[in-house]
Amino acid sequence: MKRLCTVLLAAGLGLGTVVAAPSAAAAPTQCQYVARDLPIPAGATGAEVIASSSDDKLLVGEVYGDPELQAVVWRNGEIYQVMKSPYPPRMTPRGINKNGVIVGWMDDLRSYTAYRQLIGRYFKLHTEPGDHSIATAVNDNGDVAGAIFPIDGPDVRTAVVWERDKPGYTVVGPGQAVLVTNDRKVLTNEGLLFDLNTKTSVSLGAREPFSLDNGRIFGWGFGSIPEWNTSGQLVAIYDLGVQGLGVNNHNTLFGSFGPSTVNPGLWRNGTWTAIQADKLPITSGYGDISDDEVITGNYRATSGDRVAAQWFCAP
């Protein structure tokens, strides 16, 4: 059931009204989903979807089984690009934008260095001597979110952003930047939402995991999922939810719900429906749902490995 309540929002937001989670448009009858594995490059033994572009046309994934296969990009469910390079370093992709810019980090067995990759070329992002750096997300403007931390010393991280066409990086605060929106808001794992335009910030009053889809930020909880807009305002609560992963333009949310057991499900019209499928999608990490309710994500094979797949409603 939808919930309407008033809460004291986190620091900097003041007292606000939380509206009920939006209702979906007329949804199709619940169906039996069938998983279809995404194709993998020749020589690979498996792949896992890590992220998608803001328009959901591009997916980027990690590839397993061949150390020189660094990443794969799918477009419309087919292999679009395969990134290869000699090992080491190992390239770990973590984000992609609609222009095909991929970000992540390279591991040369001595240190991690954040990178930006476009059309097969890797560019290291500014990193001070003595520091590791990692990139975790990129917006369509080309701003890259991530973190720095010392090579020798405790793993104390500082959230940073490599702003497009600006030298060096911008320090956001403690922790690690995990999301960057197209209106240039950066979210850290500690729930600090930083505005790159005004250099001001607010706290969401929650910690990771977070997900960003269609300009909407979803969190997690024991019994309800919060949703914020990119101004940091709490706008909805999804009762019985555990974690929100992706949402379509009909306001159908893909995620997980409880309370006694955690199940993959779809939120429509103020209620959760458990997903029925031959292979259930994992409800942590990456997940999304299209406007025609095709689900994209990963499932766990009997070997324990994650397998990149899409789920279609059986005819």
Which candidate, 128, 166, 111, 175, places its Cα nearest to that of 144? 166
pTM of the model as a whole? 0.89
Instruction: Give yes or no for a contact between 219 and 204, defined as CB atoms under 8 angstroms apart.
Output: yes
pLDDT tens digit sequence for 35-79: 999 999 999 999 999 999 999 999 999 999 998 998 999 999 999
Q: Residue 165 and residue 311: Cα distance in Å, rounded?
A: 39
Classify residue 173 as exposed, middle or buried by CB count within 10 Å of its CB (0-12, 13-18, 19+).
Answer: middle
67 with 26: CB under 8 angstroms? no
What average pLDDT does range 252-276 have in this prediction? 94
Does any domain span residue 162?
no
pLDDT confidence bin for 29, thresholds 50/70/90: low
Residue labelled with tokens 């403007």: 141
Please give the share of the chain, as a percent, with pLDDT higher than 90: 83
pLDDT for res 5: 31
Tally of structural domains, the chain: 1
Nearest to 86, CA basis, from 101, 106, 72? 106
- Is 26 part of any domain? yes
Mean pLDDT of 253-268: 94
In a domain, 30, yes or no: yes
297 is a domain residue: yes
Supply the range of the domain harboring residue 219: 1-38+209-315
pLDDT at 4 over 50: no
pLDDT of the residue at 228: 98
Give domain status of residue 141, yes or no. Answer: no
Distance of CA 51 to the CA centre of its chain: 6
Is 88 contained in some domain? no
- For residue 4, tell me if it sits in a domain: yes
Of the candidates 237, 141, 228, 154, the residue with the CA atom closest to the CA atom of residue 193: 228
Residue 197 lies in a domain: no
For the record, the structure tokens of 114 come out as 């954040």
- Round to whole Å and give the CA distance between 85 and 68: 5
Count of C-beta atoms within a 10 Å radius of residue 236: 22
Residue 188 · residue 168 · CB < 8 Å: no
